[in-house]
Chain A
Amino acid sequence: MPSSKTREVSISALLLAVTLVCVAAVLLITVYLMWAGLPAISEIGLGNFLLGKEWASTSSNPKFGILPFILTSVYGTFGAILIGVPIGIGAAVFLSKIAKGPVKRILTSAIDILAGIPSVIYGLIGMLTLVPGIRKLFGLPDGASLLAAIIVLAVMILPSIIKLSAVALDSVPKEYEEASLALGSTPMEAYLHVSIPAARSGIIASIVLGIGRAIGEAMAIMMVSGNVANMPSLFGSVRFLTTAIASEMSYSSGLQRQALFSIALVLFAFIMIVNALLHLILKKGKKHE
């Protein structure tokens, strides 16, 4: 009955066709962003666009320099990672290795809920408590700033860092820790010297994923960062790549609108770099196993 083989092959081909939807979607996104974003870049000039320090999209002599946005996104992401990663890994170690019973259940749910909270709520609370808090704490005229955005971002990337790191730590064979304990190390030493290095690739992946999320976040930081196209400073009002798009999109027209798509293209490029990085790390991690 040779038809069984052909049937298998055709089923496989059919499934492949459906699976290719993902590839199509990525291509579609890439193509459309290029189609929408490249004209403005060519009109403004790549150098002026990427390196221009001034953004005045609606002035009579419009300027479309997005360096402030790029730098803000980079600094903001970096800051969020700086705060979020240590806490995230610490909490992951606690969750994966120390917490037991109800504590573990509560912590797990807490992290899941944190991950599930809509970013708007983070923004809202940030706006109503964090921004005035920063203003009062640092004696600033206004608290809406890069710092506020960094803190909100750090909180927002925490759940994904914790979850992924915890998964990586969970998948470290229990035998490693047992071996370490049997050699006379304390549990903490076992986690630090054996578990974390063994989960390295997963943890790095979680960080990279956090970077991706931080770069891509829009709604929450729009509400706390002041949103002025300044060059970034910790206590200054700043605008990110994402917020630049979100804030002007609805009123935009003409070259301004096109320039916004160009920003989206730049953002997309950043994300692709981060993704490629992630891909590499995960692949390497797999190979390592």
Chain B
Amino acid sequence: AKEKASVSTDGSTSMEKVIGALGEAFMNQNPGIKFTYNPTGSGSGISAVKEGRCDIGLSSRALNDSEIAEGLNQTVLAYDGISIVVNNSNPVTGLSIEQLALIFTGKIANWKEVGGNDQTIVVIGREAGSGTRDGFETITGTKESCLYRQELTSTGDVIASISQNPAAIGYASLSSVKDTVKTLKVDGVIPSEQSIADETYKIQRPFIMVTSNARTLSPSAQAFFDFAMSAGTESIISNAGAVDAK
């Protein structure tokens, strides 16, 4: 029997909803093709492509130069806003990028300095290697200088921790944020599909599909790639909380 055609994707956990939705829709259209997505993280997605363990890698950060030099290709699928979130009980409603930088590097240590309660700020971030963290730190210019109280390994952890701690602040993919936490305005702009699309909301990052120059995509993988990049997927992507890049 002929093996069922398949597309395997591997990588960023932030892209789960987007790519999951795309995959589901793709399979609905092409019942003969099996689509798999393995949410392992941007780093492992990239190395998986490199090592040929999957067809398409998924990364929520742009490839760096060395990765491009190793023969990898990136295609931006969508953009994702990184929301700055605090506990629902926190009176602060917005911060500037500078304030964020100062808070995350520990230079502002108390909420009252930014108009909040007299509370030590608890900075919660993601682990090294996380695309969200990379995106946030790149945009706020805080790379390697953030002083985190907690480094959590997933968006869910971050949101859960912040929802439990009135003094916490953290960042998370826009698509994952729920009403258990409060989203702050950054430079006066609340993250939304609109504000991300017109780039008024600054803290955003690309969702990219990574392919290898060394191998041509299988026909089914190419079909998925094309499907994802086609115009008809706009609503799917936005339903999944990201902003279509096309």
Q: Are A247 and B157 in contact (CB under 8 A)?
A: no
Partner of A248, one of B47, B129, B168: B129
Question: How many Å lie between the Cα of A239 and that of B149 in the bound state?
Answer: 11
**Is the Cβ of B144 less than 8 Å from the Cβ of A227?**
no
CB closest residue in chain A, given B127: A247
Q: Pick the contact of A247 from B47, B119, B153, B165 — CB < 8 Å? A: B153
- Residue-wise, chain A 197-229 has the 8 Å CB interface mask toward B (1 for contact) of 000000000000000000000000011001111
B75 to chain A, nearest CB (A): 20
Inter-subunit contact B151/A251 (CB<8 Å): no
Write out the residue numbers on chain A whose beta carbons fall within 8 Å of the beta carbon of B195. none
* Binary flags per residue of B39-50, CB closer than 8 Å to A gives 1, else 0: 011111011000
Question: Is the CB of A135 closer than 8 A to any CB of chain B?
Answer: yes
With A and B bound together, what is the CA distance between A197 and B77 in angstroms? 67
Interface size range on B against A:
20 to 34
Complex contact B144–A142 (CB within 8 A): no
Query: Are B43 and A253 in contact (CB-based, < 8 A)?
Result: yes
A142 and B165 within 8 A (CB): yes
In the bound complex, do residue B119 and residue A251 qualify as a contact, i.e. CB atoms below 8 Å apart?
no
How would residues 102 to 131 of chain B score, 1 for a CB under 8 Å from any chain A CB and 0 otherwise? 000000000000000001111000011111
Whether a CB of chain B sits under 8 angstroms from the CB of A66 is no
Scan A45-57; emit 1 where CB is below 8 A from any B CB, else 0. Answer: 0000000000011
- Partner of A251 from B42, B121, B144, B161 at Cβ < 8 Å: B42
Q: Name the prevailing secondary structure of the A interface residues.
A: loop
Q: Is the CB of A227 within 8 A of B153?
A: yes
- Judge whether A250 and B150 touch: CB under 8 Å: no
CB distance from B147 to the nearest CB of A (A): 9
Q: How far is the CB of A216 from the nearest CB of chain B, in Å?
A: 18
Given contacts A128-B164, A141-B167, contact A251 B43 (CB under 8 A): yes
Q: From A59, A222, A237, A252, give the contact of B43 (CB < 8 A).
A: A252
Residues from chain A with a CB closer than 8 A to the CB of B161 are 127, 131, 142, 144
In the complex, what residues of A have CB within 8 A of residue B144's CB?
A: 56, 58-60
Q: Which of A142, A237, A256 contacts B129 (CB 8 A)?
A: A256
In the complex, which residues of chain B have a beta carbon less than 8 angstroms from the beta carbon of A58?
A: 128-129, 144
Q: Is B227 an interface position by the 8 A CB rule?
A: no
Asked if A132 is an interface residue, CB under 8 A from chain B, the answer is yes
B5: A residues at CB distance < 8 A: none
Across-interface contacts of A110 in B (CB, < 8 A): none
Question: A residues 228-282 with Cβ under 8 Å of B?
Answer: 228-229, 237, 239, 246-253, 256
Chain B residues near A227 (CB-CB < 8 A): 127, 150-153
Query: Are A228 and B160 in contact, CB atoms less than 8 angstroms apart?
Result: no
Q: How far is the CA of A141 from the CA of B118 in the complex (A)?
A: 11
Instruction: Report B125 CB to chain A, min CB distance, Å.
Output: 9
**Residues in B whose Cβ lies below 8 Å from that of A253:** 43, 46-47, 129
Q: Are A251 and B149 in contact (CB under 8 A)?
A: no
Residue in chain B with minimal CB distance to A141: B120
| 4 further interface pairs, Cβ-Cβ under 8 Å (given A127-B164, A251-B131) | A222-B153, A223-B157, A228-B151, A251-B129
A and B contact pairs by CB, cutoff 8 A, 18 listed? A56-B144, A60-B143, A127-B157, A128-B164, A131-B161, A142-B168, A144-B161, A226-B149, A226-B150, A227-B127, A227-B152, A228-B149, A228-B150, A247-B153, A248-B129, A249-B44, A251-B44, A252-B44
